[in-house]
Structure 1
Amino acid sequence: MAQEQNEGVESNAQEDLTQKTIDTLEIDLNNELAEEHEEEHTPDVDYSQLSKEQLVKLLENELAAVNGEGAKPALLKKAEAVVREIRPVLDQIKLSDREAALKAFVADNGDEDGFEYKYDAETQRIDSLSREIRGLKNSFYQNQEKEKEKNFNVKTSLLQRLRSLLEDEGTRETDASGLKTSWEEFKKIQDEWKSAGNIASPHNGTLWATYNALIDRYFSNRNIYFELKELDRRRNAELKAELCEKVEELGKSLENRLMSREILNEANHIFEDYKHLGPAPKEDQEKLWQRFKVALDVLYDAQRGQFAEQKKSMQENFEQKAAIYEQIVPFTTYNSGSIKEWNAKTKEIMAFQDQWVALKGIMPREEGKDLSKKFWASLKTFFNNKGEFFRQLEGKREQNLELKNQLCADAEAILETGDDNASNTQKIIELQKKWKGVGQVPEKYKDTIYDRFKKACDAYFNQKRAKNKEVEEEFEGNLKKKTDLIERIELAANSKDESSLNLLSAFKSEWSSIGFVPKKDMQSIQKRYIAAINTYVSAIGQLSTKEKEQAVLESEVELVRDGGDSSRNLFRKESDIRRKATQLENDIALWQNNIEFFAKSKTSDRLKAEFERKINTALSQLEDLKHQLSIIQEAI
């Protein structure tokens, strides 16, 4: 019995030493994982080449993966890393979109005063998804901290129960039933301890040391369970050997793949399982631990080698960005009195910014952070100086306000006369042209001054329209006549037997004899008329396709001559015909040139005949196109 107790004491001492080693390694592993997280390199993906829709899809996939897997740490960190890499790309997209909108605004208004910009839906969606992913990550780690605090209370309570169990063992006389009850309570405490999750690292070693000390006291006081303890240790040895094999397999897998964050996470999870297993037999305990540690060292040696390569890349990236920074330093003292020169200088500095953003990858932490601050501070200084220049232009807006007030007064004076003759109408039109030529006014007067001028002009033209009501009624009557005529043309087109060129000419003459229609109906009635004529021409059976096209074209030309508004279509047709004619002329020249190189033979004679046939066909088509072009040119 004394010998068994001595063996138990030796086993306990070995377990204490092993547990301290495990606790030490856990701290080292956590430190290395934290350092790796801090230096985590950018995934080898060029996000700047992706469109906004692709970036939205990428973030949606990352968010779906995180939600689908229950917010695993590896997936959360991967998603957050993607968000971090997309951030500068998104900033560049925002800057580019805003610059493009600003350029368009300046082109329309002369300067950027009054410019407002709202990012499109895709850009806002990228921002929203990024915030949601960060929120999930923060929530996950906050919940982990709360869970650790809860686990600390649970484990503290379990230690108190274990102490109470030991005190009861020492103060009462146990029998078989009592031993069984005590053992069941002890195993229950063990199971609950294993089920409790991690706690904050400052308390972890103390709790584990206390727990193991109480466990040792329990087994020392209950030698009857020594055999059960040895069985449990042998089982633990088998489980630890299996965990060693898993880590060793991860090391072997590096022959076919690169070291990654996922591999380290998996190894860390296996380490957690190893740590929570009870002790193995003392003759196997240290061997198993050394085997497990060697397998872990393989992984971390591979990681350190990979870090060395990353540091080299980080230094190269730092040197390239430092060169860009040196080139933008002179911009911080730039000054000019010309908007054009400021805009040209802005393009230059934006090109350097594009180069900076295009250099992907991380830099050494402290040096890179300092360089980034200086780079963006230089950009900010340049744009602050530019902003100061444009603020000095604000005085010009006050002058523009005085000019526009005078234009409002002139328009109101014409309105008060009550006379809407041609001279006054021309004066109002001239005032409107002058208004467009005056630049921006101070923002707070922008709407009120415009509303005042518009009110005066609208009142004048409304007064003029009221006197032209009879003319409008006549236009409405003409619209009814043209609509009736179109319906008759459509009806005649459906009755193909009645279709003829004579009747087509009659329709055209009748259309030309009808006067103007309301302006709002002009385009729609002309489109319907052309469509009806096209349908009618198609129904004339005795005409060839070429003749039908000719008839339709002549109808459109006549419509333009009569004051229609379809000249834009004719311009498009003219462009298409010129393009086709040019292509035919190029083909004819090429074919004629090729004929000269044919040798005298039966084969070449056949080829020559084929090319001559193509040339004759093309010449005929070219003649038709030139005829169509002459018809269109007469109208436009």
Structure 2
Amino acid sequence: MLEEKNDNLPQADGLNPETETNTIVDAINSTNAEDSETSSINESNHIPMVNYDELSLDELNVELENLIKNEKITAIRDHVEGIKRSFLHKYSELIDEKRKVFLEENPDAFSTDFQYELPAKNQFNSLYNQYRDQRNSHFKSIQDQLKKNLADRNQIITELKELVDNTENYNAALKDIQQLRDRWKSAGAIPKDNYNHVWNNFHFHIERFYDQLHLDREARDMDFKNNLEQKQRIIERASLLINEPDIRKAFRELQTLHRIWKEEIGPVAKEHREEIWQNFSEITKQLHSKRELLQNEIREREENNLAKKKELIAGINEISSKEFNSHNDWQNAIKEIEALRTKFFSTGRVLAEQSEETWAEFKNVTRNFNVLKNNFYKDIKKEQQDNLVKKQALIEQAKSLAESTDYDATTPAMKKIQEDWKHVGHVPRKFSDSLWKEFKQICNSYFDRLHTERNKEMESEMVNFNSKKDYLESLKDFELTGDHKTDLDAIKKHIENWKTLGAVPQTRRHIEGKFNKVLDALFDKLSLSKKEAELVKFNNKIEHLIESNDGRRLQNETVFVQRKIEELQSEIFQLENNVQFISNAKADNPLVKEINKNIDRHRDELNLWKEKLVQLKNINKNDE
């Protein structure tokens, strides 16, 4: 709005009267230039502002979509930015909560392992990009129009100059001059940086014309008289504005009067030019002085309001930083916070440049307090009783597994029970010791049996290790015959023989890696396709995991393969998008060729990983 832009008008203290007046008028001209340029960019915002912080993510998307579909793109900027702030804040809180749950459920995972895709976020990104593209397109068309208008006005100035320089019959040229002035009035807005220079240039040549208009003094004098009367009426109207009680309204009208004076009314006779301008300038100076006093009062009041609101925010923050351990303490704190909030809302406006920051600080400190309060009432009442129930349930789980002889399946479950026990908080003191003694006895009994059994297994597995060591040594003498089928069958036979030798101790599993290296070398020599060799090696790896009954590593392998598929799909999608953004995206374009070649390579790799996933899924089906 005009009154907001005029807040940037200079303060006149310390200037001599002429300089002071010129500074004020220059500021008015500058504001008129800016208003002229931006009149078609910033529409009047009649759309009611919603409290977006109260809406859910999906509701915010609906609100954003409705604004884009039903309102002018230039009228919704503040609303869109408000939706964006609220959406990103809520989304960030949701992601933090999901990440926290993920890390609690996966203690061995890193924060970077967390992935979470929210459809609402994808929808928001799409809608916001749509808004941004439409707004940028609109601004570009406006700038193009401003440049065209500037070219039109410069053309008018050129025609005017030629008319003044080359006309001998000025009386006959009056009609041409009037046509140029009419074209000037309808030429439209131009870039504000060119506004004063272009107008001064036009006005200079108009005055030259009238100064040379001596052949028909009567016509010239009538035009001068008409212009003088119009400017006198402007001065009369401006003088009435001095007594207007609404200073903002008066100053807005003064800006309009300056624009009409400058752009719509021609020159007056030389003997009146200085006097009539001084009269108008003096009224302008008086109005500016009144407005300046009002602005100083408003600014001082807003500065005081800012100080009060900062003090209230600090008070809320101080209360939030305290620890409250009882219901009564929290109730007293809630009453204090509510009193401070009421004072905050009843305090008037603050400085415009501080308004958004102050509101954000207020929302942040009140939100922090509410989070602490909600956490207290959500957790404290049931925390110890819930913990008691959890630990009793863990004891029952441990009892149900304590006599099991399926150690491979039971041991990870028992270890998880122990880990879960550590993460359960305090229970009522009267149950604490008895629960711990019972739980510890059950766990000790199971793991003592486990260690005895594992010692027996270790002896048997060491025998298997020595057998595999000997077998690996014998493979040094194995040579390929050169016949594809014969050699492939022989390699597969070695793989089967290796499997029959059984499992080895955990600390000796490096021998499996050595065997796989030998296989890799043989496959490299074998005339298999890369894909076929890769699948055979992968199948051998999976079968080894099955033989060793390592369900966790099988699951990890499945997750790894799925991630590789997702990564390759994402890379292919990105490469295909890149092709769309190439301006000359023809098939013979070298860059397009390279990208398409890269896409084909990624697709081949994707197919290989998909076949690996099929093998893993078949294993899972067989297990079921």
| Same fold (TM > 0.5) | no
Task: Compare CA radii of gyration and give the structure with the larger one.
Answer: 1
TM-score by length of 1: 0.40
Task: With the length of structure 2 as denominator, give the TM-score of the two structures.
Answer: 0.40
